[in-house]
Amino acid sequence: MLELRSHRVARCAYQRVVAHDKKEYTKGYAALAHKLPGMILQNGLAQASGFLLAKGKEEHLRLLDDLLAILTQEQITQAANRDALHQEIIAADLKQTLRLTRSALESSGWIKRYVQGTLRLNASGENSLPQEKAHV
């Protein structure tokens, strides 16, 4: 049976995101996941990946690892780790840069959606479910 690429990307993103549920870094991860697509669009993939690497906090590195896992699954990259991915991004020619960026935007979009939908966390890393009103 034929499977759509977007379904594979969505499934991988879902598996990666739910693995972060209720971890000590989850709030920071969620906040970053909301910002990543915009960071890629505004600053470019090289600067976005460089930022995540430079910060070096667990939530930054986990997000970059999740992006790497999806790009690797889709055979967009063969980078062995996050550092190798960043090196590949900054060394890429125009065609490969566009391919990496397009795939990273799609992947980060799915990650963001699943952070919102399954972890129920908003852009500040807080619970996005409405508070129940107390019955009097």
C-alpha distances out from residue 42 to 45, 47, 66, 114, Å: 9, 9, 20, 22
3-state helix, strand, coil in the chain (%, to 5): 70, 0, 30
pLDDT digits (tens, 9 = 90+) for 20-39: 999 999 999 999 999 999 99
Is domain 24-117 in CATH 3.30.300.30, yes or no?
no
Report the predicted TM-score, pTM, of the whole model to 2 decimal places.
Answer: 0.90
| pLDDT < 70 positions in the chain | 1, 129-136
